[in-house]
Amino acid sequence: METVEMNSVSLKRPRSEDDVANADEIKRQKISEKPKTGNDSGQSIETVTEQPDKSLLEDTKNEIIPNEESEEQEDEELEDSDEDGDPESFADMMKHGLTESDVGITKFVSSHKGFSGILKERYSDFVVHEIGKDGRVSHLDDFSVPVDDEVNFEDPSEETFTVLSDEDKQRLEELQLLKNKETSVAIEVVEDTKEKRTVIHQAVKSLFPGLETKTEDRDGKKYIIAYHAAGKKALANPRKHSWPKSRGSYCHFVLYKENKDTMDAINVLSKFLRVKPNIFSYMGTKDKRAITVQEIAVLRITAQRLAHLNKCLMNFKLGNFSYKNHPLKLGELQGNHFTVVLRNITGTDDQIEQAMHSLREIGFINYYGMQRFGTTAVPTYQIGRAILQNNWNEVMDLILKPRPGAEKGYLVKCREEWAKTKDPAAALKKLPVKRCVEGQLLRGLLKYGMKNIISAFGIIPRNNRLMYIHSYQSYVWNNMVSKRIEEYGLRAVPGDLTLKGATAVHIEEGDVDNYTIHDVVMPLPGFDVIYPKHKIGEAYKKMLVADNLDINNMRHKIRDYSLSGAYRKIIIRPQNVNWEVVAYDDPRIPLFTTDLDKLEGKPLPVLPTDGKFRALKMEFSLPPSTYATMAIREVLKMDTSIKNQTQLNTTWLR
């Protein structure tokens, strides 16, 4: 699925006082040591969060478990504080970034004249609703909690969340996580009644899975004693004995989130619930700089506990709770529905009509978007190519060497130390955020030594490792589809490939009239695919030969890095396409209501009929593994790369 990790797209326009004030506010919010990047896209691989291929269907961040909570908190504080830098310095550093043409994105299919507009001037200008496998669009429209026929000890009362002091919670959490040598925690019952003791029992057991409780008399006073019933096993397996048999084991809910990516959201939820992130499941990862609505499932956590989080979490809302017998699986979704506002558009009404009609009738080239390739001067596809070439010294060098362009300050120091000493321990000391790819590789080199780079690289979570080689596949595909469009245009030709079920077949000369460009697919290179029987098939071979790869032997000696290949449609025609042009004066006001606005009864601001600016509100649905930015690119006919956008951008609104 499409996920966008980018700031605004715009052509220059006069800066208002609000713009200047906002930029000054961003500067004031920076930490004392200026970061080397100005947005959240500075990480070279974690920004690649589109719906993965089948071989990637694992949770990336759930595999990364920090050694100490303090280290995790430090990482988060540094990452959060580094998000907003000086727009001008970031734009300057992004001169070293990629453009669309660098990754093969060069063609358009529409004939209208392009025009400018601002994408994501506010993150709330980009809203994503997940479409489930049943075709139903996920919406947050109900905060109520389902009621069971059975009474469940796991369902806490409202008092449960306040009966324990902060000190009690801290001691219980340390006990639960086995962080000290205590074997139990004693909580005095100040108002000794059976009801009060029951509430404390409930609070401990519901808020701290894995702990058991008992009541003891000590010196004439009543105490609730909390202890581990089964050590670490109890922490890994939420309480089974107290879950009603008639209730499904999984609580499904709709997650509404703002300006957070899905895996970060799961980590926040797991921290507040004091459970491991791997008990959550979902069908697809969603954008960070956006408002997104998607279904989540969690193992044996009650709707009541989840609903309580609505009172203590910022930028999240949970609702539409139900109990089911199954988790969710990555890739099960039908797609996503997008609601996008392009602000300060310059196109005429006629240009806009032509662009949107073309998008609805023809569609757009199904390129892999820019976030697939990272944002720094070392594209992820280059690392993927080195892996496929079995050139491990180059893999290490590409990940760790100094690079020009947008980088966080601590990464710059780490790279400089590595270039100077080639000492993993010394470079690691310069890196306060250990969960990044660079930190993981350095830890691997410390553990396995400089002569065993393969094992050191293996410490990086599997999803991240595979994203490198899939980035190379995407790079090849983008270049080949551009050649295909240039050579044969928007028609099916003999030798093209089409899918019959899950099998790709060649379109024969006498059968070509039965197919359109929307039926044509192109292969991602791998060991089990076939290639077009025309010039593009030969172009694939030439491109891989130039990269010292054998197109007929894509199996790697390390099984994980053997490319199985796949097929991808050349042209995607969005469904449910609608649009409207509206006028507005203030770029900070919303131009449509969100699910949360509707639940809270917020009215849409009254817009002027003759405002200073015009905006294009557009809606469309896309299947998984396609990029909304590529659809918007076709409408605007503008380069969507961060390098281009940051050179043009003058406003940086949150």
Catalytic residue set: 287
- 251 three-state secondary structure: strand
Per the structure block, which two tokens stand in for 64? 């990364």
Q: CB of 492 within 8 A of CB of 520?
A: yes
Integer Cα distance of 300 and 236 in angstroms? 12
Sequence-distant (≥ 6) Cβ neighbours of residue 422 within 8 angstroms: 450
For the chain, first and last CA: distance in Å?
24
- The residue behind tokens 């699925």 is 1
Can you give the length of the chain in residues?
A: 654
Q: CB of 411 within 8 A of CB of 133?
A: no
Burial group, residue 651, by CB count within 10 angstroms (0-12, 13-18, 19+): buried
Residue 581 Ramachandran class (φ > 0 left, ψ -120 to 50 alpha, else beta): beta
Strand partners, 497: 506, 521
Supply the DSSP symbol for 158: G
Q: In one letter, which amino acid is 22?
A: N
| Cα dist from 521 to 50, 261, 492, 539, whole Å | 20, 30, 10, 16
Integer Cα distance of 536 and 522 in angstroms? 9
| Cα dist from 361 to 149, 336, 357, whole Å | 51, 19, 6
Q: How many CB atoms lie within 10 A of CB 217?
A: 8
Q: CB of 380 within 8 A of CB of 373?
A: yes
Sequence-distant (≥ 6) Cβ neighbours of residue 447 within 8 angstroms: 455, 456, 459
Integer Cα distance of 249 and 235 in angstroms? 17
